[in-house]
Structure 1
């Protein structure tokens, strides 16, 4: 019986673990031990190779040596944490790098083990890390209704939604950061629906869209006669959201004078309507959102530091649409289906070239811009399949798209390599021979474009990326 289980324990469900070590013998030993414990292992010899595998392999745990060629294990952790904040990382360290590993745990590394490691301890730490990360993902997907409006299959969004679900169970103030159009209000609504306040109101206000003279009255309310146009008492948005959630969108645009009053409301949990002599107690969960860099705004004296720390109990960073490109086709077809019903049109999808153009576009306006583009092509389309020309028109790009030389070369290289791997069923030697390149150089090209030959074998399970390639 493996040392990883006590006699009474059932064998655990297999998890995919990404193992990183430049020592081939150590890599083999770690892989064998983890496989014997029932886990699936993806083994690589460098941080660069690990990052290339990260989204394709979709691991539940990363186990890495600290000392690696090129990027070290600490730099690898920083990149893993930036992409997938809830993905646990365990570091293996020699005695000389223990101080670095200890510091890394304060930055978010799950734990570290010293070499030579104890096999039983390794499996125990692996089990602990997997057990801690699994509940968030399981709970987040146990009931999808709360996030039904957020369409995604990307690993970045999966991690973000798992964190959002956990945060929703508390009453902590949340600060949502992300570019305009990235979906901050949708995420705020999802957090509200996943929270104990779901049956109460969700109220959103754009702090940058209301004139400064009206914003105080809009937020806190006013009493009759407080100013010239105050002909009756008016409940503010804080009172309208009683028991529920108030989203303060574009909080970075709030005028400094009002920031002081908002801070007082958050401290006292009470609002005083304009012109009133008494405060009114409130019970509201605050979510704030901004596309601005609030730390830079604080340094410039445009945003109060004490308010920032009141609002920023938990921070969630939304990725741009460009950082979740695997979602573009999914979102485009989702929007097309919804808008086809709105315009009473029979549309079956996008032509392959049109979908490629959407996937390759820059999307500075993020998901909001994608929705607007799909709405335009839906309104103008006269055929069941939306053609490339309509997409190019909506994107305001010339029919013959002009790429820079570097972009064109990069695109050609990747498509050429994908075609070769498909043609040779993932056989690198055959693919290199057809390309008239030696195998070492060919492997470097594959690594540069994050392509894994094994994913092109006809009997291998396809990753999302390869499946997309095959349906293009």
Structure 2
């Protein structure tokens, strides 16, 4: 039995649609406005939502992100009395199941209900069965979680994958995650750096060569395509491939055969292709800079990685992970990170994305390796100035001013998320947030000295380490005793 929400300001249509749902054995909840609809959706999980476009308190399409962000991830069917091509495009691009125009025949309604619920049930089953190896991918934001869902879905197939995104967003990490979660995980993962392929040696590097094929070929050499046999071939920065190489590579993708330089027979290689680019390949195709037939071969399944500035909430997790890794790599005590440093890093737009964040943190740590805590003063001036400019701008604009009680000893406010969670879950989250705030201040005031932190907090050394580990917080100066 499915649970269906109907959000429409036409009372007659709501009742008729609800009757169709009940005749099929499903439950239906009704709402006539966006506000009522949000209240209904927040009370319980739903499998399917019928959403009108023109509602008394706004455009229904504006509620799509809220609905899709619900824990039950219901399917959404947009219904409207007036056809709008732009609205339909917006709905479909934002993941709506379908876009229907009134009046609707009973047969049409029944078919869409059955298909949408059937798909939703299978989607939930697939999600429950997925156990993804994330490797070094850090973060739990909605944007990055959606990409990880795509990794899980395509990893189980043999289809080619195109990963797009700005420089430094972690395209190779995601390619490796697809490989690690696929049936080819035991095979090789071979990287082709298309941006650094010398034009005179492209064919030799990709296809290999035999001894004596050209001057300097003193022995047989396997090309990258042959090395990837049984595994995954990763074309990094595929947009940089020369046009002539694109032509030769297209046949390799179609037939999985290639000919080493100087050899008179073709060879086969059974590999899966994953490509990545920060270029606009469709625009390059239009400009004649990239072959359309090769683009269509690469573009079977696309994953677009979000820039770091759109990964709300991931900065702190990334910082803690990088600080730990960098300190261990350089054989330094694990540094603590004060909240001011996190706030400064979160205010910066990160044009170089995750790669730039890692590089900045390494510079900051190496610049003062003896300090047990990472303060804003350790960061480059341009990053610190970004936050200062934002603060000055807010204070100069009275409408944007915010009153903070954090420095006056008042307890922090924890607004309940939407939809309202069960009380036990909400209490657990609030408790966790309070613990994190306390531990950060404790580390700051103890300057990373664990013995001092234990004395101030009254916690045993083992309990303090357990709490720091549970919340992903760096601690200073010492490693945990055996």
Where on the TM-score scale, by shorter chain, does this alignment land: which range?
Answer: 0.7 to 0.9
Match of 2:243 in 1: 256
Match of 2:373 in 1: 385
Whether 1:157 and 2:122 are equivalent positions in the alignment is no
Match of 1:93 in 2: 79
Deviations 1:77-102 (A, max 9, x none): 5x689999x95542252555599999
Distance of 1:44 and 1:329 partners within structure 2: 38
Alignment of 1:346-365 (within 5 A): 346-365=333-352
Whether 1:131 and 2:87 are equivalent positions in the alignment is no
Query: For 2:55, what is the secondary structure of its paired residue?
Result: coil
Match of 2:233 in 1: 246
Alignment of 1:359-438 (within 5 A): 359-379=346-366, 380-393=368-381, 396-398=383-385, 401-403=388-390, 413=400, 415-416=402-403
Deviations 1:106-136 (A, max 9, x none): 7653246768999999986774353133234
Residue 158 of structure 1, CA deviation: 1.4
Aligned length: 422
Match of 1:45 in 2: 34
Is the 8 Å Cα contact of residues 425 and 458 (structure 1) preserved in structure 2?
A: no
Is the 8 Å Cα contact of residues 392 and 399 (structure 1) preserved in structure 2?
A: no
Residue 235 of structure 1, CA deviation: 0.4
Larger Rg: 2
Residue 232 of structure 1, CA deviation: 1.0
Question: Where does the alignment leave 5 or more consecutive residues of structure 1 unmatched?
Answer: 6-14, 428-450
| CA separation of 1:136 and 1:280: change in aligned 2, threshold 3 A | same
Whether 1:313 and 2:330 are equivalent positions in the alignment is no
Deviates more, 1:17-26 or 1:359-368: 17-26
Whether 1:204 and 2:191 are equivalent positions in the alignment is yes
Query: For 1:416, what is the secondary structure of its paired residue?
Result: coil
Distance of 1:172 and 1:92 partners within structure 2: 31
Question: Where does the alignment leave 5 or more consecutive residues of structure 2 unmatched?
Answer: 441-482
Deviations 1:353-391 (A, max 9, x none): 001111111111111111111222222243332111112
Distance of 2:129 and 2:181 partners within structure 1: 10
Deviations 1:378-428 (A, max 9, x none): 2224333211111244x5544982238756668983743898xx979689x
Deviations 1:176-216 (A, max 9, x none): 10011101000000000111111100111210022222222
Match of 2:51 in 1: 64
Whether 1:461 and 2:448 are equivalent positions in the alignment is no
Deviates more, 1:365-374 or 1:68-77: 68-77
| CA separation of 1:297 and 1:126: change in aligned 2, threshold 3 A | closer
TM-score (norm: length of structure 1): 0.72
Deviations 1:409-457 (A, max 9, x none): 68983743898xx979689xxxxxxxxxxxxxxxxxxxxxxx9799799
Deviations 1:245-269 (A, max 9, x none): 0000000001111010001111221
| CA separation of 1:26 and 1:39: change in aligned 2, threshold 3 A | closer
Deviations 1:333-358 (A, max 9, x none): 01111222122222343111001111
Residue 271 of structure 1, CA deviation: 1.0
Distance of 2:428 and 2:398 partners within structure 1: 20
Deviates more, 1:396-405 or 1:192-201: 396-405
Query: For 2:331, what is the secondary structure of its paired residue?
Result: coil
| CA separation of 1:290 and 1:426: change in aligned 2, threshold 3 A | closer
Is the 8 Å Cα contact of residues 21 and 68 (structure 1) preserved in structure 2?
A: yes
TM-score (norm: length of structure 2): 0.71
Distance of 1:210 and 1:390 partners within structure 2: 38
Distance of 1:42 and 1:342 partners within structure 2: 57
Is the 8 Å Cα contact of residues 169 and 196 (structure 1) preserved in structure 2?
A: yes
Match of 2:207 in 1: 220
Is the 8 Å Cα contact of residues 238 and 282 (structure 1) preserved in structure 2?
A: yes
Q: CA RMSD of the aligned region, Å?
A: 5.0
